[in-house]
Amino acid sequence: MFSPAIFTAAFLLSTFATSSPVAIRQAEAYQIRGVSDPIYHLYLQAQTDDPSVPVLGAEASGDTFYITDTIQSASTGLYLNIVPDDSVSYKTLVFEETSTTTAWGLEGDTIITTTGSEYGRQLNFVGRVRIS
């Protein structure tokens, strides 16, 4: 069973922090996790029966990602994109073969959409939470 949740994602890297968004591909991929209730320490991954659907789940099954102005799965090569034309106040996420969202950035260890992007500076996105 899955439940929608709004989450703020944190980039798990204790030795790397920047005050401005990055645009250089990282040499290593890292896990992305929720940092506040109700999804505290749940990790970004693809739904097992539909790899286009991002979900939050256990650390052991969490994927790793390269984060620049795009977010790419190290295991599948799929890109995390924001669904265009979502008319609600939150934006839905999807994994796709091509990158259509190039608005990602980092503020310290927090994943954001950058100020100059069509989304403006945002840090809350919609994901599904795996309920065990």
pLDDT tens, residue by residue, 39-51: 888 999 999 999 9
Phi, psi for residue 82 in degrees, rounded to 5: -90, 130
pLDDT over 70, % of the chain: 71
The pLDDT score that the predictor gives to residue 35 is 82
Query: Integer distance in angstroms from the first to the last C-alpha of the chain?
Result: 8
Phi, psi for residue 59 in degrees, rounded to 5: -60, -40
CA distances from 117 to 8, 49, 103, 113, 120 (A): 18, 32, 5, 7, 5
Mean pLDDT, residues 50-77: 95
6 pLDDT above the threshold of 90: no
For residue 38, say if its preceding peptide bond is cis, omega within 30 degrees of 0.
yes
Half-sphere exposure in the Cβ direction for 81 (13 Å, CA): 16
The pLDDT score that the predictor gives to residue 69 is 93
In this structure, which amino acid lies at residue 115?
T
Sheet holding 104-107, edge to edge: 2-7, 125-130, 50-57, 43-47, 32-34, 9-11, 110-113, 104-107
The domain locations on the chain are 2-130
The pLDDT score that the predictor gives to residue 127 is 52
Condensed to tens digits (0 to 9), the pLDDT of residues 58-69 reads: 999 999 999 999
Q: Which residues pair with 110 in a beta bridge?
A: 10, 107
Query: 20, 63, 67, 72: which is closest to 45 by C-alpha?
Result: 63
- Supply 55's token pair: 């979900």
